[in-house]
Amino acid sequence: MSGILNSYPATASIFRLPSVRRQGTRTGTNRVFFASTGSDSLTSISPPSNFKAPEPKPFFVRPDKILDIIGSSLPLILRLGTGALVSGYSVQIVAANEVPSDQYATGFAGFKFKETSKIGPRPEKPIEIYEFEGCPFCRKVREIVAVLDLDVLYYPCPKNGPNFRPKVLEMGGKQQFPYMVDPNTGVSMYESDDIIRYLVGKYGDGNVPLMLSLGLLTTLTAGFAMIGRMGKGSSYTPSKLPPKPLEIWAYEASPFCKVVRESLVELEIPHILHSCARGSPKRQVLYEKVGHFQAPFLEDPNTGIQMFESAEIVEYLKITYAL
């Protein structure tokens, strides 16, 4: 995946359709990806001295982070939980002893909740999206990513960010967000509603969820949902650009995931998001991978660090990547 980060393959031909830029076959001729960063930024990354990943503590909120989590929970109310459930979500309540120990399922009072969903075709390569956290139009696209259970390579574009905002201007002709590139089809486009319709048509059942189909009301509620965080995830913090994108298991509706995403955006750190809303089969994948499911979960291929716990992940990112 580092090849995606280090260079952007040139295209053979480009021609416009309304709101869509279709690209010809990608060739092996590469252009330098980073727009304004010298080679010094691509130095090796080391974990903090004597760093030890914390033990996962489900639903635990560190006392100094209570207000952050409360503010990050506001979208759950204003957006009616959009992005919390994968498309076609269903749940079956069974006795705890009916679920094998190697199978992920949440439990309560001697019962387990077996969650399933109905997902569409899977893209071979992650969708690439240029966006930033404090943008209501970007939030709409992140919500459909969660509903469709897609993996996405996010290129954060905070205000004054030196790397990926200029790249969007170079690729699409204007600095407008979100901007999507689908390397599986060669399609790229601006406009959140067009992106949503494209994704549900290509990787879903073709139906846009109600809370994403209300026009101005959708945009207004997505905007009001950000009031609790007062512009977090919007402005650039000088940072070291990692040689490889980080990987995070998260989903849009989680307040714990939101505070981590804010830091990733502010530090302009490219990351592959493995979307894992309720009903996602990727919850089982992570459970098998590390013996536990909890979101967010961070994997940093540049340092070898793997960790749970949102507050500690934010601290790790700042110590490791902020200048």
Q: Looking at residue 269, what is its pLDDT?
A: 98
pTM of the model: 0.87
Q: What is the pLDDT of residue 4?
A: 39
pLDDT of 230 reads 86
Nearest Cα neighbor of 142 from 239, 266, 225 is 225
Burial grade of 166 (CB within 10 A; 0-12, 13-18, 19 or more): middle
pLDDT value of position 107: 87
Kindly report, residue by residue over 176-223, the tens digit of the pLDDT: 999 999 999 999 999 999 999 999 999 999 999 999 999 999 999 999
Residue from 6, 27, 30, 314 nearest 163 by CA: 6
The predicted structure's pLDDT at residue 28: 32
Overall average pLDDT of the 38-46 stretch: 60
SS3 content of the chain, % helix, strand, coil (to 5): 35, 25, 40
Dihedrals φ, ψ of 14, to 5°? -135, 135
- Using 50, 70 and 90 to split pLDDT, how confident is the model at 109? confident
What kind and span of H or E run contains 129? strand 127-131
Rounded to whole angstroms, what are the CA distances from 129 to 166, 187, 205, 267, 316? Answer: 14, 12, 21, 16, 24
* Per-residue pLDDT at 166: 97
Nearest-angstrom CA–CA distance, 257 and 260: 5
pLDDT of 169: 97
Whether pLDDT at 20 is above 70: no
Residue type (1 letter), 181: V
What mean pLDDT is predicted for residues 91-119? 93
**Bridge partners, residue 15, by sequence:** 22
DSSP string of 251-285, one letter each residue: -TT-HHHHHHHHHHHHTT--EEEEE--BT-THHHH
